Amino acid sequence: MPSFRLPGPQFCESVFAVWKSRSCQTGSYDERDMAEIIAVNAGLPSLSDINVTFRVQEDAGAAATAPPASLSSEDYLFVEARHPNTVLQGLNSLRLNNAFCDVTLCCGGHEFPCHRIVLASFSSYFQAMFSTDLIESKQERVAINGVEPQMIGMLVSYAYTSEVYISKANVQALLAAANLLDVMAVREACCCFMERQMDEINCVGIHCFAEAHSCKVLEKRSMDYILEHFSSVYQQEEFLSLCVDKLTDIIGSDHLNVPKEELVFEAAMLWLNKCPSRKQSFEKVLEHIRLPLISPYYLHDVIESLDVVKENQGCQRLISEAKDYLLLKDRRGELYCPRSRPRRSTGTAEVIVTVGGEDDKVVLRSAESFDPVTNHWKNLASLPFAVSKHGLVVSDSTLYLAGGEFPDGSASREMWRYDPCFDSWMEMAPMNVARSELGLVMLDGFVYAVGGWEGRSRLDSVECYNPHTNSWQFTESVKMAVTSPAVVALDGLLYVTGIK
């Protein structure tokens, strides 16, 4: 380290006299004057000529002007936390004083002097405008159209201050301007503000606004709000002003939260009565109402009697489809369509059910259901016994199990019914013949057991179960004995294939 010998007392007195004399002549003095006098009178070089030498590694000289990749214990990185704000304040002061401004934004008769470099730094819109061969890159005055002048002023101020005031009165216009100029931070702040202000009255308007400006997150969350609070939303003016396509998007959703499907029809009627000219679009609306899930009495007494339904063949076809589904419970597999799918809010779900069977030669008595929507398995009430090679069939929401093979290898005559409401199995009348590896199918409200293995031989006999009388009766046999046949019902007929 360099060392200096301090001057003695006599020298200091003479220096002070010189310093005092200079200050009297100039009328002012500072510490640098004193340092200069000390240096000169001590016979030392002036401050501007002093160089302090530090010992450094020979290969570090080239990087003296650049920050190192990692600091050593002797280095110090100085960071002024207030520097960004200081720079912004300085730039804003220059803007307000119209100093060094090189472009003026013109909007609706208002002018906003700015600095190109500031605009380009916070907006990719301006960055592209000023860094390409667009004519605006060379103009001193640039016109901004399609937005309110006040919003341009607010965004310019934001560029220089990082602050913008958002209110219910300006949020839509501000979001539109921020969207146009690609000021994403302000755009997202407006979206968050609108989401916090969302309620049953304005959620439809917010959704349509978000969709128009491609605000995907706000668009989805507002739609979720509409679906969740539909019972209140459909009574609001914004809902009644919806276009037919947006209305069908809402009422066609599986996630529409309604206690019963009749409420969806009532909402559609309110929408229809708002404007008589909408009658020509009512068939399209009715297609998205799940008429098969509506009470048959409501369907007959209310819906079918409406003139708008009577006068439209398409609406009549939808009514007929719903009636068939309600009356022909055992043909619902054939009549299945999106309108017959339960909404998630009803608590009813379409599931895949597995009952009994074998696991590594161990016969099971467990029952499980799989929900394809939630991708989740759920345990159901187990059978009172273990069984495999049985028949399983569903009618409406009732499950029937018949026949099968017990763990000791004997065939079963038993018939059991599963009630999903009580998660329980109930024993029904047994078949006339014990059957394993049988075919089991529903046809027009009756259960048919076809063929199978009775323990010693294959069977060609067919039995029919009547749920109303809880009894089995033999019917016409198949032409040959079969085991493990594939049996399906279609249009009142049984089809047997895969004979073994």
CATH number at residue 235: 3.30.710.10
CA distance 135 to 154: 25
Are the C-beta atoms of residues 452 and 436 closer than 8 Å to each other? yes
Mark whether 334 and 384 lie in a shared domain.
Answer: no
Mark whether 209 and 311 lie in a shared domain.
Answer: yes
Q: Report DSSP state, residue 482.
A: B
149 CB-near residues (< 8 Å, 6+ apart)? 107, 108, 109, 110
Least trusted range by pLDDT, from 50-64, 186-200, 319-333: 50-64
Based on its alpha-carbon atoms, the radius of gyration of the chain, rounded to whole angstroms, reads: 42
Mark whether 304 and 377 lie in a shared domain.
Answer: no
Mark whether 304 and 430 lie in a shared domain.
Answer: no
Whether 33 shows a pLDDT value over 70: the answer reads no
The pLDDT value recorded for residue 34 is 46
Residue with more model confidence, 21 or 234? 234
Mark whether 303 and 439 lie in a shared domain.
Answer: no
Whether 6 shows a pLDDT value over 50: the answer reads no
State the burial class of residue 117 (Cβ atoms within 10 Å of its Cβ: 0-12, 13-18, 19+): middle
Q: Is residue 355 part of a domain?
A: no
Residue-number span of the structural domain to which 202 is assigned: 88-340
Whether 11 shows a pLDDT value over 80: the answer reads no
Sheet with 398-402: list strands edge to edge.
Answer: 391-395, 398-402, 415-419, 424-428
> Kind and range of the H or E element at 149?
helix 149-161
Question: In the chain, pLDDT over 90 holds for what percent of residues?
Answer: 68
Q: How far is CA 23 from CA 34, 41, 63, 214, 418, in A?
A: 10, 16, 43, 70, 109
Nearest to 454 by CA among 428, 476, 427, 482: 482
The pLDDT value recorded for residue 14 is 47
Whether 356 shows a pLDDT value over 70: the answer reads yes
Mark whether 324 and 449 lie in a shared domain.
Answer: no
Q: Is residue 311 part of a domain?
A: yes
**Sequence letter at residue 444:** D
Mark whether 274 and 135 lie in a shared domain.
Answer: yes
Sheet with 446-453: list strands edge to edge.
Answer: 439-443, 446-453, 458-466, 471-475
Place of tokens 């009697």: 305
Q: What's the token pair of residue 105?
A: 């934004």
**Sequence letter at residue 499:** I
Least trusted range by pLDDT, from 28-37, 267-276, 458-467: 28-37
173 CB-near residues (< 8 Å, 6+ apart)? 147, 148, 150, 151
Mark whether 281 and 389 lie in a shared domain.
Answer: no
pTM to 2 decimals?
0.71
Nearest to 138 by CA among 103, 110, 113: 103
Mark whether 199 and 253 lie in a shared domain.
Answer: yes
Q: Into how many domains does the chain fold?
A: 3
The CATH number assigned to the domain holding 393 equals 2.120.10.80
Q: Is residue 102 part of a domain?
A: yes
End-to-end CA distance of the chain: 103
Mark whether 44 and 92 lie in a shared domain.
Answer: no
Dump pLDDT digits (tens) for 63-74. 555 666 666 777
Least trusted range by pLDDT, from 88-92, 129-133, 266-270: 129-133
Q: Is residue 394 part of a domain?
A: yes
Q: Is residue 201 part of a domain?
A: yes
Sheet with 352-355: list strands edge to edge.
Answer: 352-355, 367-371, 376-380
Q: Give mean pLDDT, residues 370-374.
A: 88
Dump pLDDT digits (tens) for 139-160. 889 999 989 999 999 999 999 9
Listed in order, strand segments (DSSP E) in 50-154 are 103-107, 110-114, 141-143
Nearest to 332 by CA among 390, 284, 391, 398: 398
Least trusted range by pLDDT, from 33-37, 255-259, 456-460: 33-37
Dump pLDDT digits (tens) for 390-422. 999 988 778 999 999 999 999 999 999 998 888
Half-sphere exposure of 311 (CA within 13 A, CB side): 7
The pLDDT value recorded for residue 38 is 44
The pLDDT value recorded for residue 133 is 80
Mark whether 213 and 320 lie in a shared domain.
Answer: yes
Mark whether 326 and 201 lie in a shared domain.
Answer: yes
CA 428 to centroid of chain Cα atoms = 47
Q: Is residue 62 part of a domain?
A: no
Q: Is residue 452 part of a domain?
A: yes
CA distance 301 to 57: 97
Nearest to 234 by CA among 198, 204, 213, 276: 204
Nearest to 254 by CA among 352, 419, 372: 372
Q: Is residue 412 part of a domain?
A: yes
Q: Give mean pLDDT, residues 200-225.
A: 96
> Kind and range of the H or E element at 493?
strand 493-497
The pLDDT value recorded for residue 417 is 94
